[in-house]
Amino acid sequence: MKKYGKYLIGSFALLLIFSTFLTANVAATIPSTDKQVSVATDHWQANVNANEMTMLAFQFNLRLRFMANVNLFLEGDCETHKLANKDFIIEIEGNGDLLMNMTCTEEQKELGLMMGNTYQIRNRNRFQYQEGFVCNLDCNGTFTKAQIRIRATNENRIGTWAYYDEATGEWVAVPTTVQDDYLTAEITHFSYWTILIPDYTMVIVVSVFVGAIAVAIIGSIIYIRKRKRTTN
C-alpha cells in the first residue's frame, strides 16, 4: 500500500511539474494586449513607440489604434460625441520618426460630405455617405507604406474607402477588402478618407424601366400575332 502511495505521490508531482511547464509556455505564447490610453477630451496628443500597437480609447466607444515601425507623435481632434462605436486602425511604415496630425468628424460640409448625400465619383459610379466617420490625415516625415481599417458592420460591409482629390474636387474610391472583419485599404498618401456605400437606386430604377419596356414589347408581339391568327 505504501508502495502505491509513493507511486501516486510521484505521479502527482510529475503532473504538477508538467502542468506548470505547460502553463508557462502557453503564457509566453499569448500576445500582449494593446497599449491602451484613455482620452477624455476632443483635442489630444499621444506618443506611439515603434512596433507597439497603441489604442486611444475615447468616450462613446470611439477607438483609434496606431501601429508604426518607427516612433510616432500624434496630435488630433475628434468629435467624440458624434463618433460612437467607431473602431479605426492605421498602420505605417516609415524611414524615421513621424509627426502625424489627425481630425475625425462625422461630416465634412466644406467638401460636400454630408450624411445621406449621394455622389458620382471618378469612375462614374454613384455612392452614398452613411458611415458618419471621416478622418483627415497629415504626416510630417517620409512613410513608405500605410494601411487604414475600420470595423465592418452590416451597414458598411459592401462599402469602399475613398479619398478626396483636391485637384479635381471629387471623391476617389480605392480597392477595399474585408480582412479580420475590418474594411481595409492600402494607401499611398494622406488626405481626407472615408467609407462610401454603393448606391444601387439608379440601377434598380433603370432595370425596372427596361424590364417594363421589355414586357410591353413582348405583350405587343403576342397581341399582334393573336390578331393575325384570328383574322386568318
How confident is the model over 180-204, as a mean pLDDT?
86
- pLDDT score recorded for residue 119: 79
More confident residue, 210 or 124: 124
Domains in the chain: boundaries: 1-30, 34-199, 200-232
pLDDT for 13 beyond 50: no
The model's pTM is 0.72
Q: Per-residue pLDDT tens for 82-136?
A: 999 999 999 999 999 999 999 999 999 999 999 999 977 766 689 999 999 999 9
Which of 97-111, 177-191, 200-214 comes out lowest in average pLDDT? Answer: 200-214
Share of the chain above pLDDT 70, in %: 71
| Cα dihedral 219→220→223→228 (10° resolution) | -150
Containing 79, the helix (H) or strand (E) segment is none
Q: Say what the pLDDT of residue 16 is.
A: 40
Which three cell numbers, joined as nine digits, stand for 91? Answer: 498602420
Cα radius of gyration rounded to whole Å, the chain: 29
* Angle at 73 (CA atoms; ends 68, 76), nearest 5 degrees: 110
pLDDT: which is higher, 227 or 4 = 227
What is residue 222's predicted lDDT score, i.e. its pLDDT? 63
How would you label 64-74 residue by residue, b for 16+ Cβ within 10 Å and e otherwise?
A: bbbbbebbbeb
